[in-house]
Structure 1
Amino acid sequence: MDKNMMYLLIALVLAGFGVMEFASRRYRDTVHASANDTTLEILMTVGLLAVTQPFILFCSDLLGQWLAPGMRNAWSSLPWWAWAGLLLVGDDMTQYWWHRISHSPLLWPLHRAHHSASYMSIRITYRNNFFYYLMMPGIWISGFLVYLGCGWMYFAYVVLKQAVIIGAHCAWAWDEPLYKVRALRPLMWVAERTISTPATHRAHHAISNADGIGHYKGNFGNLLFFWDVLFRTAHITRRYPAAVGLRDDQLFGAERWDKQMFYPLLQSQREYSALKFGGKIYSDE
């Protein structure tokens, strides 16, 4: 598998879940996006896939040549399961921690855009601040692993990871009907503790924790939900929050897309905002 095949497969995954959003009417009934939302989501999706990820892979290769010139493809003989372990720890586990600390006051402005959507959909999968991805340790580590000889395994891993992440954000909750099948209960018990599902990830996007379903201070996993289980941030209910998004946007109005995307280069003019120096995370608590 090469890079072009990777992008093609990710596009097919997006298309497949997109079809289900429309076929199930979940997009029509729940996704009420503004032009501000659409601009942010299009620019960030294109920015990540066409600019940020290729840029990081390119820079990682240059750094590898500079710091370890004799190590290009030095690990290429490793078996696939070894590469899988290296990628899961080097990329997915570090992304868990990056995501987790991005809910702290210092880094929240770089991740806030992802939670400002008042709906769940494949369209918000890559909705984030530009610097959130540019600084993400896992992408840089993956770049060095490619330099060391990861090769096709990296592209296969990315497709699998994106399929899980896209599915977890989908307006159509693919896990919901499966919970109702008695014969699948043992399988779903394992699945929801292994990978991110719509139920566990929507809890993370919930606008409130008051109903016992929302858990925006946990459920940080991307590909593997196992990291939440391991590090005790998991909250599993098999239920879906009534509303997602941010309470401060309801109270004070949505932040402009450019401030969400390019903070700290651009600062919010909103009276109460985390997207300006000295701003704070809003909480009803």
Structure 2
Amino acid sequence: MSGFALMEFVTRRYQRTVTANANDTKLELLMFLSLVAITQPLALLATAKLGTWLAPTWQNRLADLPGWAMVGLLLVGDDMTQYWWHRLSHSPLMWPLHRAHHSASYMSIRITYRNNFFYYLMMPGLWIGGALLYLGVGGMVYAGYMVVKLLVILGAHCAWRWDEPLYRIRALHPLAWVLERTLSTPATHWAHHAITNEDGIGHYKGNFGNLLFFWDVLFGPAHITRRYPAQVGLIDDRLFGEEKWQHQMFYPVLQSQRAHSALRLGGKAYEAPPETHEVR
């Protein structure tokens, strides 16, 4: 995280493009703290307790598996389920729990964990990861897997677009072809955050992968352009004003009173007419 933050500042991408205000900062900081201090520890500790209670004979059953097999289980049990959870969160029912992640009008590592509190609390991958640790997946294997995953997802959100040289330098095009179909990159993930799909770059109904972009390639909604959208964020925030951080973080416990809000019972995502999406 420090390394990516440094690159955002050294390249001046942060200073030029990140337009965060106090509302953004509260949401991003409190969500990060709640994830690392509450949600992740709760998932790991609760699965361990439940395992001891419900399936004591299954503890460490997988401890003799080779490391590559443990990584394979984590890729399926954590990353692939997160892919489907993310994809489901773009449905009308689940959108309010994920909307906060898309409400930022900038890309930066600071938005990586910008989400709704209950979005992470119910995320299957966190609980499956805890179950796999109970079943014997090694702690060091899990830690190594998480470091690699963090490198990829932080890099995909980073204001510093590390993949740009891969597209400019012809000799690196074969490497780019492999990477962009395997891992999430800034170009593919920024497209997912685009404010519109109408420019041929934005693709917020696809490019759902977190660590592996391969899931998008495998299951259909991959969109690769090697370009970056002119704007990211949500059109309804531009038209009606941003939602308050507490409504974004704690919906449905706290609900918005804003016009055209998905963050209240009975509300739905705002769909503006095409001409409203023009870059101004």
TM-score (norm 1): 0.94
Query: Which residue in 2 is equivalent to 1:68?
Result: 55
- Structure 1 CA distance for aligned equivalents of residues 48 and 70 of structure 2: 18
Query: Which residue in 1 is equivalent to 2:267?
Result: 279
Query: Which residue in 2 is equivalent to 1:177?
Result: 165
Query: Which residue in 1 is equivalent to 2:196?
Result: 208
- Structure 2 CA distance for aligned equivalents of residues 79 and 105 of structure 1: 41
Query: Which residue in 2 is equivalent to 1:137?
Result: 124
Q: Find 2:102's aligned residue among 102, 115, 128.
A: 115
Query: Which residue in 2 is equivalent to 1:237?
Result: 225
Query: Could you give the per-residue CA deviations for residues 179-200 of structure 1, whole angstroms, max 9, x where no partner exists?
Result: 1122211111000000000000
- For the residue of structure 1 that corresponds to 2:81, the secondary structure is helix
**What 5-or-longer segments of structure 2 have no aligned partner?**
274-280
- For the residue of structure 2 that corresponds to 1:56, the secondary structure is helix
Query: Which residue in 1 is equivalent to 2:239?
Result: 251
State yes or no: 1:188 paired with 2:176: yes
- For the residue of structure 2 that corresponds to 1:238, the secondary structure is coil
Contact kept, 8 Å, 2:39 with 2:120, in 1: the verdict is: yes
Q: CA deviation at 1:94?
A: 0.4
Alignment of 1:92-103 (within 5 A): 92-103=79-90
Contact kept, 8 Å, 2:83 with 2:209, in 1: the verdict is: yes
Query: Which residue in 2 is equivalent to 1:6?
Result: none
- Structure 2 CA distance for aligned equivalents of residues 271 and 189 of structure 1: 43
Contact kept, 8 Å, 2:31 with 2:116, in 1: the verdict is: yes
Q: Find 1:168's aligned residue among 131, 156, 159.
A: 156
Query: Which residue in 1 is equivalent to 2:276?
Result: none
Matching residue's letter, 2:74:
L
TM-score (norm 2): 0.96
State yes or no: 1:44 paired with 2:26: no
- Structure 1 CA distance for aligned equivalents of residues 272 and 239 of structure 2: 11
Query: Which residue in 2 is equivalent to 1:157?
Result: 145
- For the residue of structure 1 that corresponds to 2:129, the secondary structure is helix
- Structure 2 CA distance for aligned equivalents of residues 54 and 158 of structure 1: 14
- Structure 1 CA distance for aligned equivalents of residues 53 and 151 of structure 2: 34
Matched residue count: 272
Contact kept, 8 Å, 2:166 with 2:175, in 1: the verdict is: no
State yes or no: 1:15 paired with 2:2: yes
- For the residue of structure 1 that corresponds to 2:58, the secondary structure is coil
- Structure 2 CA distance for aligned equivalents of residues 180 and 63 of structure 1: 52
Q: Find 1:104's aligned residue among 91, 96, 102.
A: 91
- Divergent runs of 4+, >4 A: none
Q: CA deviation at 1:173?
A: 0.4
Query: Which residue in 2 is equivalent to 1:11?
Result: none
- Structure 2 CA distance for aligned equivalents of residues 101 and 75 of structure 1: 30
Q: CA deviation at 1:50?
A: 1.5
- Structure 2 CA distance for aligned equivalents of residues 242 and 182 of structure 1: 24
Q: CA deviation at 1:284?
A: 2.2
- For the residue of structure 1 that corresponds to 2:57, the secondary structure is coil
- Structure 1 CA distance for aligned equivalents of residues 224 and 170 of structure 2: 18
Query: Could you give the per-residue CA deviations for residues 258-282 of structure 1, whole angstroms, max 9, x where no partner exists?
Result: 0000000000010210000000111
